Amino acid sequence: MPPSNPPRSRIRWLEVAVPAHAEAVEAVSEILSRFGHNGIAVELPIDSRGGTDHTVKAYLVEDAEAFAKVSDVRDALGHLQAFGLGPIGELAVRSIDDADWLEAWKASVTPIRIGAFFVRPTWSDARDDGAVTLTLDPGMAFGTGLHPTTQQCLEALSQLRLEGVRVLDVGTGSGILAIAAAKRGAREIVAVDTDPLAVRAATENARGNDLSVDVRAGSAADVDGTFDVVLANLVGPVLVQIAADLRARVRTSGSLVAAGITAQAEPEVLHAFTAQGLGVIDRAERADWVRLILTA
């Protein structure tokens, strides 16, 4: 007989699934990632015959606001179609429990090589001997290595000189960037996130990689001192909002890696950083996402 009361700690989730044509996947993912709880999953067709044969999924905690969020997602998808950026199919919502969510998530996370790094989930024993392996349990935090903005930061971390340097990772999520920096020889790494779930996930992931990362709840303003490299894979408006705090953490001639910037938000973000005396030394763009490296 099933228990009459599920354990209190059990979180229920809403899975929001949107069928999309390959060309619409990026735009749908961007919308879902604005509403979903840290991360989206994209299911690819085994044998693509065109049409809306990809599925983009996001997970929302089933709380009082969840249904309003689903309605916002519907509106945003409607706008997408109105701009001719579809074709997308009918949004489907279902309620699932933690265990199902984890299984669905696990099936969607596959090992991936990005720059100098090979990112694999904890349940995989895949190897790439030529790369620096990062083993991650994405848990409930964003940062599986699949999102283009994370990839852009990992590419930057493949190029930057990290041996012996101090690194601050603002918005660490799963801890992926902090762990990558540590694996490439950074000496002292502080990682912060405003989301307690991320703090927990990053702490566990660092431990799982046998690394010591100082993970704390908070943001750039809650950290003292300066760093050789500051990482900030956030979103445009947040980068603008905390530009001064980020600047304050970068030591003279240190680097700030800023990502999560849409091409549309780039001028405003650039303006905020230049006003703080930061100058761009490198720029990369992929699928409408811009990653900047700036120096103080």
Q: Answer yes or no whether residue 143 interacts with ligand SAH by CB under 6 A.
A: yes
**Number of other CB atoms surrounding residue 19 within 10 Å:** 19
Region near ligand SAH per CB under 6 A, out of 54-62, 130-138, 192-200, 273-281: 192-200
CB of 66 to ligand SAH, least distance (A): 18
- Per the CB < 8 A criterion, the answer to whether 249 and 226 are in contact is yes
**Dmax over Cα atoms in the chain, in whole Å?**
65
Nearest-angstrom CA–CA distance, 139 and 122 = 10
Residue 87, preceding bond cis, omega within 30 degrees?
Answer: yes
Q: Answer yes or no whether residue 239 interacts with ligand SAH by CB under 6 A.
A: no
Q: Using CB atoms within 10 Å of the CB of residue 113, give its burial: 0 to 12 exposed, 13 to 18 middle, 19+ buried.
A: middle
Q: Answer yes or no whether residue 112 interacts with ligand SAH by CB under 6 A.
A: no
Q: Report the SS3 class of residue 252.
A: strand
Q: Out of 242, 250, 261, 272, which residue is the one contacting ligand SAH (CB under 6 A)?
A: 242
Sites for ligand SAH among residues 27-46 (CB under 6 A): 38
- Per the CB < 8 A criterion, the answer to whether 179 and 117 are in contact is no
Q: Which of 45, 69, 65 is nearest to 55 (CA)?
A: 45
Which lies closer to ligand SAH via its Cβ, residue 79 or residue 207? 207
Q: Out of 29, 52, 172, 205, which residue is the one contacting ligand SAH (CB under 6 A)?
A: 172
Which lies closer to ligand SAH via its Cβ, residue 77 or residue 167? 167
Residue with tokens 């009082």: 64
Q: Answer yes or no whether residue 140 interacts with ligand SAH by CB under 6 A.
A: no
Q: What one-letter code names the amino acid at 77?
A: L
Which lies closer to ligand SAH via its Cβ, residue 31 or residue 88? 31
The DSSP output letter for 211 is -
Which lies closer to ligand SAH via its Cβ, residue 30 or residue 193? 193
Q: Out of 121, 138, 148, 173, which residue is the one contacting ligand SAH (CB under 6 A)?
A: 173
Across the strands, what pairs with 42?
A: 56
CB of 150 to ligand SAH, least distance (A): 3
Q: Out of 195, 229, 254, 292, which residue is the one contacting ligand SAH (CB under 6 A)?
A: 195
Q: Report the SS3 class of residue 208.
A: helix
The beta-carbon contacts of 43-50 under 8 Å, at least 24 apart in sequence, are 43/108, 48/22, 50/21, 50/22
CA 221 to chain centre: 21
Q: Out of 88, 153, 261, 278, which residue is the one contacting ligand SAH (CB under 6 A)?
A: 153
**Number of residues this chain uses to bind ligand SAH (CB under 6 A):** 22
Residue with tokens 């969607």: 108
CB of 227 to ligand SAH, least distance (A): 15
Nearest-angstrom CA–CA distance, 234 and 239 = 7
Q: Answer yes or no whether residue 151 interacts with ligand SAH by CB under 6 A.
A: no
Which lies closer to ligand SAH via its Cβ, residue 88 or residue 292? 292
Q: Answer yes or no whether residue 204 interacts with ligand SAH by CB under 6 A.
A: no
Q: Answer yes or no whether residue 213 interacts with ligand SAH by CB under 6 A.
A: no
Q: Answer yes or no whether residue 138 interacts with ligand SAH by CB under 6 A.
A: no
Q: Answer yes or no whether residue 167 interacts with ligand SAH by CB under 6 A.
A: no
Q: What one-letter code names the amino acid at 59?
A: Y
Which residues form the interface with ligand SAH (CB under 6 A)?
A: 38, 141-143, 150, 153, 170-173, 176-177, 192-195, 198, 219, 233-234, 238, 242
